[in-house]
């Protein structure tokens, strides 16, 4: 959810930041989602079973037990109303055409097995096109929870981007 919010804010105030990294973001256009995913978010009750199913479904491969427990615990901390509002409004907000292309370097990083957000072709058309310059990285064998699934690869990509924009 935060990627879409960060992208919109950066496009509103591009002179106040030097670059943006988007990790597995929702696009700036309405997020395509299956009826099943919509209902999962709209009817979220915050149960342990839902949190476990979310974490397991968001990952490309099983997490280490301690990380899985942490992700489930973190998911259980979320306000149910946030899931409901995201399903009905936040994910469906459409910023297409709301912004001119801005001079703001951005890097988008997604997992090749992420089923929660659009693929890179769609991300270019729906989000990256508003930034200049933009780049992207697809991390293999990762799903939606990149910081937990592939922290070293993600950290490396972030470091490369930061070093480039500091030059």
The CATH number linked to 118 is 3.40.50.1820
User: What was the pLDDT predicted at 36?
Assistant: 87
Q: For 33-64, how does the pLDDT look when each residue is reduced to its tens digit (9 = 90+)? A: 888 888 888 999 999 999 999 999 999 999 99
Q: For 64-98, how does the pLDDT look when each residue is reduced to its tens digit (9 = 90+)? A: 999 999 999 999 999 999 989 999 999 999 998 88
Binned at pLDDT 50, 70 and 90, residue 1 comes out as confident
Q: In which domain, by residue range, is 156 found? A: 2-166
User: What was the pLDDT predicted at 166?
Assistant: 84
Q: How far is CA 81 from CA 38, 54, 124, 135, 164, in A?
A: 14, 16, 30, 34, 39
Q: State yes or no: pLDDT of 32 exceeds 80.
A: yes
Binned at pLDDT 50, 70 and 90, residue 136 comes out as very high
User: What was the pLDDT predicted at 29?
Assistant: 93
Q: How far is CA 102 from CA 4, 19, 44, in A?
A: 16, 11, 37
Mean pLDDT of all residues in the chain? 93
Using a 10 angstrom Cβ sphere, with 0-12 exposed, 13-18 middle and 19 or more buried, the burial of residue 146 is buried
- The answer to pTM > 0.85 is yes
156 by DSSP, 3-state: which? helix
- Hunting for tokens 């919109």 — which residue is that? 8
**Overall number of domains in the chain:** 1
């Amino acid at each position: 959810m935060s990627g879409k919010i960060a992208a919109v804010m950066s496009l509103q105030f591009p002179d106040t930041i030097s670059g943006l990294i988007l990790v597995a973001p929702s696009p700036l256009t309405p997020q395509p989602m299956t009826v099943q995913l919509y209902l999962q978010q709209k009817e979220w009750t915050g149960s342990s079973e839902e949190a476990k199913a979310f974490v397991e479904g968001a990952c490309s491969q099983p997490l280490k037990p301690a990380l899985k427990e942490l992700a489930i615990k973190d998911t259980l901390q979320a306000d149910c109303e946030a899931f409901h509002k995201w399903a009905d409004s936040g994910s469906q907000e459409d910023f297409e055409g709301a912004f001119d292309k801005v001079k703001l370097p951005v890097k988008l990083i997604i997992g090749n097995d992420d089923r929660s957000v659009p693929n890179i072709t769609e991300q270019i058309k729906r989000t990256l096109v508003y930034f200049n310059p933009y780049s992207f990285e697809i991390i293999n064998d990762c799903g939606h929870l990149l910081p937990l699934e592939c922290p070293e690869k993600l950290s490396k990509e972030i470091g490369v981007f930061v070093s480039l924009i500091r030059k």
